[in-house]
Amino acid sequence: MNIDGPSGLHALKEMRIIDLSTGNIEWHSDSYLSNHYVWSDDSKFVAAQYSGRQWTETLVLDTSDFSIIKLPGIDDILKAAPDTPAPNLNIPMSQFTVIGWESSSVIVIRFEWITTSDTTVVGEYKYNVVFWEMEVKKIDEIKT
């Protein structure tokens, strides 16, 4: 534990995936205020979600070699849906949250960001981590 977290909050110092049969640390990374793992049904992939006070990010690990699969971000979403309002770069609080695994290789991600016109973009996409294909499922713009 890191007892010197921001605002008196306590966070883990490190995220780890450990092979319980050997005790070996298979993967590790710096930790944040909140950490969450979502495993695919066949355990071939795991989404490691980590958060600060006002942001959330996710990466996917291939458990065959613990390589990192980068998920699509804001630029990829804007390329796939060019009419979507861009985020306000002065408010860097985007959220990319795991909804779950639709199949053993397709993950569903919820995204959200605040735009320059003070509206909020909220949506979901599916991403095939084997074929690197993204499909935006829905996008809404909400007045705040």
One digit per residue, the tens of pLDDT, for the chain of length 144 reads 455 555 555 556 677 889 999 999 998 877 666 778 899 999 999 998 877 666 677 889 999 999 999 999 999 999 999 999 999 988 767 888 899 999 999 999 999 999 989 899 999 999 999 999 999 999 999 997
Residue 79's alpha-carbon distances to 12, 73, 106, 107, 120, in angstroms, are: 36, 10, 20, 19, 18
Alpha-carbon gap, residue 123 to 136, rounded angstroms: 8
CA 89 remoteness from chain centre: 19
User: Token pair for residue 110?
Assistant: 């919820």
**Backbone Cα Rg of the chain:** 16
Q: How far apart are CA 95 and CA 109, in angstroms?
A: 10
**What is the C-alpha to C-alpha distance for residues 38 and 108, in angstroms, rounded to an integer?**
11
The whole-model pTM stands at 0.83
In the chain, domain spans: 6-143
